[in-house]
Amino acid sequence: MTKKLIFFDIDGTLVDHEKKIPPSTKQAIELLQEDGHELVIATGRGPFMLKPVSEALNIESYVCFNGSYAVYNGEVVYSHPIDPARLAELSEITLKNKHPLVYMTPEGMRSSTHQTAYVEEENEPLKKRLPPLDPEYHLGKEIYQCLLYCKEEDESCYKENFPELGFIRWHLFGSDILPPGGSKAKGIQALIEKAGVMSEDVYAFGDGINDLEMLRYVYHSVAMGNASDEVKQAARYVTKDVTEDGIMYGLRMLGLLKE
């Protein structure tokens, strides 16, 4: 079989709802690697957050920050940070509004503030998840993605003032902020070109809103059974839920693994 290049999202795809890798998924990945296929992680996470999954599955190539940073076999092949001047403006506004802004680099992440505009008790878990405080962390660094903590109705002012940035809401009180044109598809395109693989030999598995561009871009795209209807409609194929051996089932459905 011709060598394939296969991209996998992490949360809800490679790992289940309890953040564990299903045994069938680990077996499927090992079988793909034995057959000589190249596997890539495509995630909204940063490189510093990949170690548990990448080491468990022995995957060294990745597209991170929802496509803003891509590494192929240890080499950075795509780098698209947020403009520092615009980021400084955004930081100033979020601080005034008491909306924490988390700056993300390949090495780590820090929060602009630990003060929040929220008073609802239900938001306390989010406060506890904020990374260490460092309002100047972004200075002199390339920031590839930010996490903005605010209600959806409060996000509109940021979208109006920063129309070039991408906003992907992943929680009632949280959104990813991407550089202009940022999407998993951009990083994937650069990695495909570097790998020298034909488009018909590229596959992708995902389940979230941040996977939409990836699933629309990759010809052999597969939505997990636990994905929303919008995500399923963007994919060419739909497999089973991640908890129902969805990765193994999908790979067999595509003929990449034998029954």
- Residue 91 CB-half CA count within 13 A: 22
- Residues 220 and 95 reside in one and the same domain: no
Total domains in the fold of the chain: 2
pLDDT at site 121: 47
- Residues 222 and 236 reside in one and the same domain: yes
**What CATH number is associated with residue 72?**
3.40.50.1000
- Residues 27 and 143 reside in one and the same domain: no
The CA-based diameter of the chain, rounded to the nearest angstrom, is 58
pLDDT at site 118: 65
**Residue type (1 letter), 218:** V
pLDDT at site 127: 60
Instruction: Give helix 84-96 / helix 152-161 axis angle, nearest 10°.
Output: 140
As a whole number of angstroms, the distance between CA 193 and CA 251 comes to 23
pLDDT at site 125: 56
SS3 labels along 192-213: HHHHCCCHHHEEEEECCHHHHH
As a whole number of angstroms, the distance between CA 180 and CA 128 comes to 30
- Residues 92 and 174 reside in one and the same domain: yes
pLDDT at site 128: 61
- Residues 89 and 169 reside in one and the same domain: yes
- Residues 45 and 105 reside in one and the same domain: no
Q: Is residue 258, in this structure, part of any structural domain at all?
A: no
Q: Is residue 18, in this structure, part of any structural domain at all?
A: yes
Domain hosting 121: range is: 84-178
Last residue of a domain, one of 157, 178, 199: 178
Give the three-state DSSP class for 138. Answer: coil
- Residues 193 and 174 reside in one and the same domain: no
Q: Give ∠ CA 88-76-206 in degrees, rounded to 5.
A: 85
The tokens for 23 are 């045994």
Q: Is residue 259, in this structure, part of any structural domain at all?
A: no
The tokens for 73 are 């076999």
- Residues 92 and 151 reside in one and the same domain: yes
**What CATH number is associated with residue 143?**
3.30.1240.10
218 Cβ contact list (under 8 Å, min separation 6)? 7, 185, 188, 202, 203, 204
Q: Is residue 216, in this structure, part of any structural domain at all?
A: yes
User: Look-up: residue for tokens 């998840």?
Assistant: 129
- Residues 29 and 100 reside in one and the same domain: no
Q: Is residue 132, in this structure, part of any structural domain at all?
A: yes
Q: Is residue 243, in this structure, part of any structural domain at all?
A: yes
pLDDT at site 130: 86
- Residues 104 and 147 reside in one and the same domain: yes
pLDDT at site 124: 56
- Residues 115 and 170 reside in one and the same domain: yes
Rounded to two decimals, the pTM is: 0.92
- Residues 164 and 240 reside in one and the same domain: no
Angstrom distances, CA of residue 223 to CA of 123, 204, 232, 241: 30, 8, 5, 9
Q: Is residue 191, in this structure, part of any structural domain at all?
A: yes
- Residue 31 CB-half CA count within 13 A: 15
Last residue of a domain, one of 178, 209, 232: 178
pLDDT, block means (10 residues), the chain with 259 residues: 95 96 98 98 96 97 97 96 98 95 97 78 60 96 96 93 93 90 94 96 96 96 97 98 98 95
Q: Which residues are catalytic?
A: 9
